[in-house]
Structure 1
Amino acid sequence: MKAKAETPDSSSAADIFKWIVAFVLLAAAVVGNHVYSEMSVVLRVAGVVVLIAAALGIAATTTKGKAAITFARESRMEIRKVVWPTRQETMQTTLIVLAVSIVMALILWGVDGIMVRLVALATGV
């Protein structure tokens, strides 16, 4: 991953304007969905989807948006490198965790019972 320090430049004002436009589009989607509640659900959903897509498209052109897209692409490449366990390994590990959890629950239950009896013996209750 490329790490570089953020430097303020002339595009920061343009980025701020783009973020404002993106948030206005998202607000328009929410308000429009409420104001036009008597319209067909299909039309309202289509309008909301179009406005959200437009907002995401505008946000993707900002510096932070481009960084987020780059991060998502790099993350996807890293996920492809992961060696996932087989079904048998997953089942074995799950059964081991289940068995250890049951054994620990029984041990804690026994310790709790002993402590309750000791406290009852000490307090005379």
Structure 2
Amino acid sequence: MATTQVETVSTGADKAKLGVAIALVIGALAAFYLLGRQGAVAQWGALVLGLAAAFVVFMTAEAGKELAAFGRDAWKEVKKVVWPTRKESLQMTLYVFGFVVVMALFLFATDKTLEWVLYDLVLGWKH
């Protein structure tokens, strides 16, 4: 029996892009903490710029392109979903609450019946 294997081709340039993106994230975090004395604007500016640069570099790599394609495909599938109307949602919610109440009453009655049978009839303990 032959098995088919799917191999992902990852070029050196893609690996380098991912490495640069990781380095940019680490650099942005380091800059955020090292610029503590420069003020919040410098800290947050360095963090946002570094993360934005890392995102741009990541999106140019094959992994980023695949992630973007996955996101587009997922959004297309979400658009195909037929969402329930407000009335249907309200009805189903009420059905669930009703079922929960009925089950709570059933379990309470079962518990009290077993308690009565075991403690009062079998063991003879009166409450």
**TM-score of the two chains, using structure 1 as the length reference:** 0.81
Cα separation, 1, equivalents of 2:62 and 2:117? 65
Closer/same/farther in 2, CA of residues 42 and 114 from structure 1, 3 Å limit: farther
Q: Aligned residue for 1:117?
A: 116
**TM-score of the two chains, using structure 2 as the length reference:** 0.80
Q: Aligned residue for 1:52?
A: 51
RCO comparison, higher one (Cα < 8 Å, 6+): 1
* Equivalence map 1:9-20=2 (5 Å): 11=11, 13-20=12-19
Cα separation, 1, equivalents of 2:50 and 2:56? 10
- Paired residues of 2:33 and 2:43 also in contact (CA < 8 A): no
Q: Report % sequence identity.
A: 32
What amino acid does structure 1 have at the position aligned with 2:80? K
Q: Which runs of 4+ in 1 moved over 2 A?
A: 4-9, 112-125
Closer/same/farther in 2, CA of residues 14 and 96 from structure 1, 3 Å limit: same
What amino acid does structure 1 have at the position aligned with 2:18? W
Q: Aligned residue for 2:70?
A: 71
In structure 2, runs of 5+ residues without a counterpart are none
Output one character per residue of 1:72-97: Cα deviation in whole Å (capped at 9) or x when no partner: 00111111111111111111111111
Q: Aligned residue for 1:103?
A: 102
Q: Aligned residue for 1:6?
A: 7
Cα separation, 2, equivalents of 1:89 and 1:43? 51
Output one character per residue of 1:42-97: Cα deviation in whole Å (capped at 9) or x when no partner: 33222211111111111112222111100100111111111111111111111111
How many residue pairs are counted as aligned between the two chains? Answer: 120
Closer/same/farther in 2, CA of residues 66 and 107 from structure 1, 3 Å limit: same
Considering only CA atoms, is the larger Rg found in Structure 1 or Structure 2? 2
What amino acid does structure 2 have at the position aligned with 1:80? K
In structure 1, runs of 5+ residues without a counterpart are none
Cα separation, 2, equivalents of 1:72 and 1:87? 28
